[in-house]
Structure 1
Amino acid sequence: MKHKLIVLLLTFCFVLSAQNIRIISQYELPLKNIKSAHYPTLNEDGNLLLFSSESYRGLYLCNLETKEVKNISEDQNAGYLPAFSNDNSKVFFRNTTFENGRRYDALESADIRTNSRQQMIKPQRNLRAARSYQNGAIVLADNKLYKTTFGRTKADIPVYISSENLKIYVYISGRRTLINPLGGENTNYIWASLSPDDTRILFTATGKGTYICDLKGKIISSLGYLNAPVWYNDRFVVGMQDKDDGQFITSSQVIMISADGKFKKPISHPDHIAVYPTASSKAGRIIYGTPEGKLIVTELSVN
């Protein structure tokens, strides 16, 4: 009887946890004059959304309050890992060019209000994702961490995480450290990202699953099979569980999972092939895409 009571209590606790995440509404984002939208990126406040074409060419901004859409750039790969500035007044994105068969990426910025544009980093080899920084951004290129700002700033350089050649590097105060959380010479890492509180790293090890570790590489939790994971907040992660036929994604659902890996909840509609989610805990909002180029907004409450 005592064992049954314990099981009942554990079941009750699980149900109670499940009730703490409530989907309020879910709808397709109306985008006028846009035939196809992919790779959504929300700002921290969750009121502005960036998206691109299926090939990452071009970058668009949607104000989720007014539903107004504006074209930020037509550059190749502008839609690959763009970032908002800390004050949401600017957008950082890449512009890819080729010279003698070699690829170069420049970091560009666009002012959302004035549409003015400025090159922040000249074309470089192996440009990585930019992280917003006080009055500018920091970005890695050719194994060098660059700070680029609109004028002087005395702010400390924040922690920066980079996936380089399928390895994870941590930059603290500009110092570069290689970490190998799962060990092994042939372990490949992708989708590495820093938690909102800058203390943990979310990553996927190809063929092994998704994990969270500390800044020294010590594993904190295992989240199982979860692709394209992003942080919702310090307590929850959002990602996709997809299946493919070797060429195309045949099914995929977006789920929310607790950072300790103990609780998960489906977010996407069961009829959707849901891919590449983005999230804002401040707005209580998750947006994912579909292969057809639709963007689906999910409003939710997480307690």
Structure 2
Amino acid sequence: MKNFFSSFFLVLFLSSFIPAQKLSVVEIQKITDKSQGEFYFPRTSPDGSKIFFTSASYKGLWYYSMAEKKIIPFASEDGAGYEYVFSNDKSSVIYRASNLDDRGLRRNQSLIKRNLQDLQSEVIVTAKELSTPKVLASNNIAYMEEGNVILEAGGPHLNKTGANDMALYSVDGKILFYMNGTKKVFSPLGEGEYIWPSLSPDGTKILFTEVHRGAFISDLQGRILASLGKISAPNWSPDGKWITYMVEKDDGEFVTGSEIFACSSDGLHVFQLTSTSDVHEMYPTWSSDGSSILFNSEDGNIYSLKLKSE
């Protein structure tokens, strides 16, 4: 009997790490129409009440209010829509803005923290060239300036870095891995051109793409755990069990097709979520609760794809 219960609880324990085996589409809803403006790269706010998006050139940020059912401007700066992040307390958006001179040339860059409620802005730092910001587990804000990782206080005080303070930067085809005050080049496949690195939600795995060999998942030491194939713009689900991505086709010059897929984080279960010849679905991201995937069409419409897992 003792062995029975030991085996029973072992099965329960292991099953908690096995993702759902099937994803299906419940519905696809158009959130914005290009008659309202051409928008791209959607993401939800942490509380799920807003869907953020930007322009094709990353100039400005807008959001669609789920409660008010309308588009609301949020930020107007050049570059504001590129790799922005939400603060850990869910109160603010932190983004990099390019400051231009009278000729339209970039003079310098600033990191700006903008409150979601009162829209008050705080300039964190201004320098000739800055990376996009990262929010660490310690609540500090990390960024790179002249190759150095610099920490700024995410709250009233700068917190000491903890065991889970990690950030990934993609710089000139290399992944720079910052962890607990140290920085190293992260090259799990050796020499290559690396893009789209991201940490799993639990901070134990790294998703990355090498442009000639495809997308992979590794542990923090670089040991490969899963190969996902030739895919583009992969993103973790909030629970870390799934990856969504797009698969593009082109004629060497123009995109001729693009569809949204999802796969289990071990790469074993793959589901095609869209299949259209007249709409090129691109750049998927997960909603904050993992129940939906947001994406844009090539011509600038924003969509929400509601999922069912079983």
When normalised by structure 2's length, the TM-score is: 0.84
Structure 1 residue 285 displacement after superposition: 1.2
The equivalent residue for 1:201 is: 206
One-letter amino acid of the structure 1 residue matched with residue 299 of structure 2: E
Say if 2:39 and 2:56, in contact at 8 Å, map to a contact too.
yes
In 2, are the aligned partners of 1:97 and 1:103 still within 8 Å (CA)? yes
- Listed as ranges, the gaps of 5+ residues in structure 2 are 1-18
> Is 1:54 aligned to residue 56 of structure 2?
yes
Q: Deviations over 1:229-270 (max 9, x none)?
A: 111131110111011233332100010011111111112242
Q: Which runs of 5+ in 1 are unaligned?
A: 1-16
Give a deviation string over 1:105-129, Cα, whole Å, max 9, x none.
2111111110111111213414134
Work out the CA distance in 2 between the residues paired with 1:18 and 1:151. 41
**Residues 132-151 of structure 1: CA distance to partner in whole angstroms, max 9, x if unpaired?**
65555222232222222241
Structure 1 residues 1-303: aligned runs within 5 Å: 20-30=22-32, 34-98=36-100, 104-131=108-135, 137-148=141-152, 149-154=154-159, 156-157=161-162, 158-184=165-191, 187-232=192-237, 233-271=239-277, 272-280=279-287, 282-303=289-310
Does the 8 Å CA contact 1:28/1:294 hold for their aligned counterparts? yes
| Structure 1 residue 301: Cα displacement | 2.3
Q: In the comparison of the two structures, how many residue pairs are matched?
A: 285
* Alpha carbons of structure 1 residues 253 and 31: separation in structure 2 relative to 1, 3 Å: closer
Measured in 2, the distance between the counterparts of 1:143 and 1:104 equals 16
Return the TM-score normalized by structure 1. 0.85
Measured at CA, do residues 230 and 71 of structure 1 come closer, stay the same or move farther in structure 2, by a change above 3 Å? same
The sequence identity of aligned pairs, in percent, is 28
Question: Equivalents in 2 of 1:284, 1:21: separation in Å?
Answer: 11
Contact 2:32 2:303 in 1 (8 A): no
Provide the rounded CA distance (Å) in 2 between the counterparts of 1:141 and 1:269: 43
Rounded Cα–Cα distance in structure 1 between residues aligned with 2:169 and 2:217: 15
Distance 2:96 2:247 in 1: 28
Change beyond 3 A, Cα 1:34–1:200 = same
Superposed CA RMSD in Å reads: 2.4
